[in-house]
Chains A and B, each alone.
Chain A
Amino acid sequence: MQEEFKNFLSTFQYKDGELRQMSSDRYMLASTTWLTDLQQEIENIIGPDGAYAVFETASKSGGQTTSEGPTFAALFAGMSLEERVKFIMKYGQFQGWGPHEVVEYSSDPFRVVVRSPRPYIGKAYKGKADGPRCYYQVGLTNVIQALANIDKRALTLQFTETKCVAKGDPYCEYVFEVKTDD
């Protein structure tokens, strides 16, 4: 794990105030406490649904940009879609999102279930939220779609957080599956 993490970090460069990975995607380091504070500030003003919508748009944009960059395609040469999905979860862990385990994978119909015992929201909600709160993770939807698209497989996925430590569950659980028209 340490060696892999070191390799991951070696793909970053700094130049003139910009932290970039493989000279492409730009990143900034932020504390998870700050990110959660920001999320809760937004919830206080526009409510959880509003906050989710804002994070969803932003996260999809972030996920889209990442998956369009040259870094992204270069990472997955020779891997099956399942391997790519598992790889991206490890990659997300290295970015600081905590361990993510793929506990279920089905190719057709496409469905992936991911568990995260240590989400970025930490203990901010003390298990008392009235719904899931890992808004940021919706961005993985676009990333997984892009992973499938490497094989020219067009997937339109929906994201559902079925369990969340924010509401007292022992871990967070994210389901990515083919979008249904309802």
Chain B
Amino acid sequence: MQMEELFKDFILQLKIKEDGLVYFRDNRSVLLSVPWFTTMQRELEGIIGADGAFVLIESAAKRWASRAVNDYAPLVKGKPFEEKIKFVLQMHSITGWGNWELAEFSSNPLQIIIKETRPYHEDAYGGKADGPRCYYQSGLVALIEELAKLEGLPPTKGTETKCMAQGDPYCEFVFSSAPE
């Protein structure tokens, strides 16, 4: 589906129900300001360091992924794994989480590379961070890992290998089979 159509569908799927709450595909949702995310992340880094902030954000993100995989499963049912990932990336983009693309896909051995060029942290780090900073994307990473599990693939691990926060031209995540 083209992004324009997908965006129209996304808007149609946002509903305010009789309880006065907003739902996206039956999940209560909020539209959050992007500066909020970045400031929150930087505040946490200031208090518990970059590694601590990552672990903490990752923990909540993984729980999100374990729920989201159930929402995505019927939407991508019957599609090849590569198409499933493309769909997930399109949905992640359309909901404002960046401009994602599947850059490389190989099923045997498993190697997936995804890229994005509009990270939520925007220019907050001025390209000078000492490591990757897309902490919130650990939810997307966990979602792809969960989808791989549903495909019956060996345990898959995704890692952020490039990040605009540290001066790379784009952010990149590489997935491969986790070592036994």
Binding site for B on A (CB under 8 A): 1-2, 5, 9, 12, 14, 16-19, 25-35, 37-38, 40-42, 45-46, 50, 53-55, 57-59, 61-63, 65-66, 93-99, 118, 120, 122, 139
Given contacts A17-B97, A26-B96, A31-B27, contact A54 B32 (CB under 8 A): no
Which residues of the other chain, B, contact A1 by a CB distance below 8 angstroms?
Answer: 16
Given contacts A16-B99, A27-B32, A139-B36, contact A96 B22 (CB under 8 A): yes
Q: Is B44 an interface residue (CB 8 A)?
A: yes
3 nearest A-B residue pairs (beta carbon): A17-B99, A19-B96, A62-B36
Q: Is B39 an interface residue (CB 8 A)?
A: yes
Interface contact A94-B34, CB-CB below 8 Å: no
Residue of B nearest to A38 (CB): B60
Query: In the assembly, what is the distance between CA of A46 and CA of B95, in Å?
Result: 30
Interface contact B24-A34, CB-CB below 8 Å: no
Q: Is B7 an interface residue (CB 8 A)?
A: yes
Given contacts A18-B99, A19-B96, A118-B20, contact A30 B60 (CB under 8 A): no
Residue of A nearest to B24 (CB): A29
Query: In the assembly, what is the distance between CA of A118 and CA of B52, in Å?
Result: 31
Chain B CB count within 10 A is highest, among A35, A58, A122, for A58
Q: How large is the interface on B (under 10, 10 to 19, 20 to 34, 35 or more residues)?
A: 35 or more
Interface contact A26-B34, CB-CB below 8 Å: yes
With both chains docked as a complex, state the minimum distance between the C-beta of A165 and any C-beta of chain B, in angstroms.
Answer: 14
Which of B22, B56, B68, B93 is within 8 Å of A95, CB to CB?
B22
Interface contact A28-B93, CB-CB below 8 Å: no
Given contacts A57-B39, A118-B20, contact A35 B30 (CB under 8 A): yes
Binds A, one of B105-113, B114-122, B161-169: B114-122
Interface contact B116-A29, CB-CB below 8 Å: no
Query: In the assembly, what is the distance between CA of A97 and CA of B139, in Å?
Result: 22
With both chains docked as a complex, state the minimum distance between the C-beta of A1 and any C-beta of chain B, in angstroms.
Answer: 6
Query: In the assembly, what is the distance between CA of A61 and CA of B40, in Å?
Result: 9
Which residues of the other chain, A, contact B120 by a CB distance below 8 angstroms?
Answer: 28
With both chains docked as a complex, state the minimum distance between the C-beta of A74 and any C-beta of chain B, in angstroms.
Answer: 17
Secondary structure dominating the interface of B: helix
Interface contact A93-B20, CB-CB below 8 Å: yes
Which residues of the other chain, A, contact B117 by a CB distance below 8 angstroms?
Answer: 16-17
Residue of A nearest to B65 (CB): A34
Interface contact A42-B39, CB-CB below 8 Å: no
With both chains docked as a complex, state the minimum distance between the C-beta of B15 and any C-beta of chain A, in angstroms.
Answer: 8
Interface contact B28-A2, CB-CB below 8 Å: no
With both chains docked as a complex, state the minimum distance between the C-beta of B69 and any C-beta of chain A, in angstroms.
Answer: 13
With both chains docked as a complex, state the minimum distance between the C-beta of B36 and any C-beta of chain A, in angstroms.
Answer: 3
Which residues of the other chain, B, contact A54 by a CB distance below 8 angstroms?
Answer: 40, 43-44, 47
Which residues of the other chain, B, contact A32 by a CB distance below 8 angstroms?
Answer: 28-30
Q: Is B64 an interface residue (CB 8 A)?
A: yes
Chain B CB count within 10 A is highest, among A34, A61, A97, for A34
Which of B35, B56, B60, B139 is within 8 Å of A62, CB to CB?
B35
Residue of A nearest to B120 (CB): A28
Q: Is B144 an interface residue (CB 8 A)?
A: no
